[in-house]
Amino acid sequence: MLTISAAEVDRALTFSGLVETLRTAFREGAVQPVRHHHAIERPDGAASTLLLMPAWTDFDAAGTSAGGHIGVKIVTVSPDNNAIGKPAVMGLYLLLDGVTGEPQAMIDGQRLTQWRTACASALAASYLAREDASRLLVIGAGALSPFLAKAHSAVRPVKSIRIWNRTPANAEKVAAALHAEGFPASVAGDLETELGEADIVSSATITTAPLIKGALLKPGAHVDLVGGFTPQMRESDDDAISRARVYVDTRAGATKEAGDIVQPLASGVLKPEAVIADLHELARGEKQGRQRESEITLFKSVGAALEDLAAGIAVYKALSTSQ
């Protein structure tokens, strides 16, 4: 069994390559039960969340599958970690042979999640963002933010990357790191002003008070919501939902777990039939993405085990063949 570090994941993947890997994965499909959520209560701090995300490729009638795999991601989300300088999200990914169950790889789950999450957003943007989208606003300066900036830049001609965070110093760090790698990144000032200028708004926070005000979005904008993963978390307000054509990564996950979808569904602001498509339907050509240059599109991602499986297989194949 290979033990694969974050640095090795970085060497194995490219943003444009993983976007296409995910496009193929959503088109072909896999078995992916809705992930398990378990609250881990703590007497002296915020509760942690344990997430279990399994997926596997289908077998044929003979019980065999060319290249078949089983995978499971084990993730913990501990909000108090930020106060002690540790990432809020920790995780590991276990990849198994799809026929024998033999362990093949243990992969750094944080890095795999960052890559697949950002590339799933970029995959959605390839259907939903304007072809000429050049101004990107990233809300949040956590570990995922540079991945989102790079992934969106891989599918659209991004000429300006603005990073906004409640703590400007953290935005400065992300912008400086991106700039050092040659990306046109800088720190955003007033959030409301930035929302009115952005072609793509990509948000990765765990806020429960919406930061994205739909009334401020300009015609043709694309909104990418990544951070909220419980029904209580919400990054966009009702105006954003009402003004936009709404898409999700998976219907089963987003309509159960994502506050940006769950809350407006409960209040009637969003009708079930107004969730136009998920990534399976877009990748298979069953539903269409952006229809007009002036419309606002909104994509809500909660993460799908299929994404981890596809990314994990890609990493394993790249590294196992190079050794």
Give the amino acid at 301.
Answer: S
pTM: 0.92
176-219: per-residue pLDDT in tens? Answer: 999 999 999 999 999 999 999 999 999 999 899 999 999 999 99
Average pLDDT over residues 107-114: 96
Q: Which of 69, 71, 68 is nearest to 52 (CA)?
A: 71
What integer pLDDT is reported at residue 88 of this predicted model? Answer: 82
**DSSP H or E run through 188:** none
Average pLDDT over residues 248-274: 94
| Res 253 pLDDT > 90 | no
The length of the chain in residues reads: 323
Label residues 147-182 b or e (16+ Cβ within 10 Å = b).
bbbbbbbbbbebeebbbbbeeeebbebbbeebeeee
Question: Residue 234 corresponds to which tokens in the numbers above?
Answer: 């919400």
What integer pLDDT is reported at residue 79 of this predicted model? Answer: 87
CB 128 within 8 A of CB 297: yes
Whole-angstrom distance, CA of residue 147 vs CA of residue 10: 11
